[in-house]
Amino acid sequence: MRRLSAIFLFTICSATVHAQQSIQRPKLVVGIVLDQMRWDYLYRYYDRYAANGGFKRLMNQGFSCENTMIPYTPTYTACGHSTIYTGSVPALTGITGNNWWDREKMRSVYCTEDNSVSTVGSSSSAGKQSPSNMFTTTICDELRIATNYQAKVIGISIKDRGGILPAGHSANAAYWYDNNVGKWISSTYYMNELPAWVNSFNDQKLVDNYYKQGWNTLYPVSTYTQSTADEKTYENSLFGKQFPYDLSAYIGKDYGKISTTPMGNSLTAAFAKAAVTAEKLGADNITDFLAISFSSPDYIGHSFGPNSIEAEDGFLRIDKELGDLLNFLDSKVGKGQYTVFLSADHGVAPIPEYMTENKMPGGRIFMNEVTKELNKKLKEQFNIGNIVVYDDNYQVALNHPAIDSAKLDKKLITDIIVAHLSKEPGIGQVFPLDELNTVPLPATVRKMLNNGYYKKRSGDIQFLLKPNYIDAWSKTGTTHGLWNPYDTHIPLLWYGWGIKKGKTNRETYMTDIAPTIAALLHIQMPNGSIGQVITEVMK
């Protein structure tokens, strides 16, 4: 009898120990990417962020990696979203830009294009997209694998690439906004028809309601002392010259303009909340993943620049959206039951004319015009047109079939192009990419260029602009894309389940995000990951 009692007691104790030692995970992971946010925005507008808003809550109750850098170039949206979620770099993911020159197809390829699938949710071609061009898994894929595909994964963004690439190859769904019809859509890669909750959301026609409200500043315009004057000639006059902006003319006609207003963030947040509710994300003990990308900061920043009242107002408003989202997650999933990280896919350069009016260097180079002039010069010398076929991603791609067919001296052509580009006032350095590891370059810049290079999807000649020169398409606005800190120093905030309170000023990288989540969840890191776990963030 005594022996049986001992066995019974041992069994109970063993079960208790096993229960105590079972793997603990949050119910939901929420990845938030702010498309085009520099790290300094956390502090530039800090005093104006709401006490109950998102940024102060994440910063003061969570963990901030203050010195997080992007370890590659070009710093574009597709590269940033894929790197955050894969822990890898374009050289390994194959996502070398939003677009790239494909040497085998001899054409420009869009990062998520997929003609084998069809649009779900509208009659336009905006849904012919999938993650098939990305070579590696994401942390979302690894979570699906680790839970035998029981975890739910959903990606959401106004931009297709912002929803598709983070969610990965095995996601339950990715949704993006079709500005042709003003609806959230998907593709047959994920589903054959939209869920009823998506159709119900679309039927609300929220965009028309936002247009009726118009866009005025959240606070009196005179209080925006961190920004330039309301009317600047180097800003895009997309909606008029100054606040308030009347958007009523777009009702029922132009569903794309919403993206360049803070209401694009409101639309995204509302859709994300609807997804959590309808899909029951975080409702059981199997960890789910919601990947949200807010695209409007990028549209606003490109048009008006980072020193504009429009940009400041956008961040003051998204601060409130983030606060509301956290409150929603508290009530729907439970306080302390979910983990959040917030980062950005890239930063942005100040508008060049803003710099020059303040006695600092800066300027524009119009590479499309430079390329036309260059091709004209090459045709005169070699009697072949269109030798330069591509000039995006700060690279020049050559027409190899035409050059080979005519048996031209490729080195001579390359030397002519290098010499021509070197004369451009805004270009600091230019060199053939096959000489990348021999030309004199700072080690950091060389590493970033190597991390962004995948031969089949990269050009032949690299050019680097001088600081605060931009490759422009117009005489207003700004862009991003190179190695400079204004493009590569991004925020990284952690909050919620498993996260300590604090901060670190040591250098961390965009590639560290995915392996840190993997460590937190006790799952395998993505199969192309080269990042390191940020151990300081975890309890």
Report, as residue numbers or ranges, the catalytic residues.
Answer: 77
Length of the chain: 539
Within 13 A of 189's CA, how many CA atoms are on the CB side?
26
* Cβ 393 vs Cβ 449: under 8 Å: no
Q: How distant, in Å, are the alpha carbons of 68, 89, 353, 380, 512 from that of 535?
A: 14, 21, 42, 60, 10
208 φ/ψ angles, rounded to the nearest 5 degrees: -60, -35
Show the CA angle centred on residue 524, arms to residues 170 and 274, nearest 5°: 45
3-state SS assignment for residue 320: helix
What are 505's two structure tokens?
Answer: 């000023």
Q: What is the C-alpha separation between 257 and 532, in angstroms, rounded?
A: 40
* Cβ 309 vs Cβ 262: under 8 Å: no
475 φ/ψ angles, rounded to the nearest 5 degrees: -90, 5
DSSP 129: B
Q: What is the C-alpha separation between 229 and 391, in angstroms, rounded?
A: 34
Strands (E), 320-404: 338-344, 363-365, 388-390, 395-398
CB neighbours of 61 closer than 8 A, spacing ≥ 6?
Answer: 495, 501
Closest to 120 in 3D by CA, of 112, 129, 111: 129
Q: Among the residues of 152-220, which ranges form H helices?
A: 160-167, 196-203, 206-213
Longest pairwise C-alpha distance within the chain: 103
Distance of CA 410 to the CA centre of its chain: 36
Torsion of CA 158, 161, 165, 171, to 10 degrees: 50
What are 489's two structure tokens?
Answer: 């120093």
Specify burial of residue 21 (Cβ count, 10 A radius: 0-12, 13-18, 19+): exposed
Neighbours of 307 (CB within 10 A): 20
Report the run of H or E that residue 32 belongs to, with start and end. Answer: strand 28-34
Q: Torsion-angle region of residue 305: left (phi > 0), alpha (psi -120 to 50) or beta?
A: left
β-pairing, 119-120 vs 288-294, is unpaired
Give the position of tokens 């302390």: 336
Neighbours of 456 (CB within 10 A): 12
Q: How distant, in Å, are the alpha carbons of 13, 150, 153, 387 from that of 145?
A: 32, 9, 11, 46
Report the run of H or E that residue 496 belongs to, with start and end. Answer: strand 492-496
- Amino acid, single-letter form, for residue 118: S
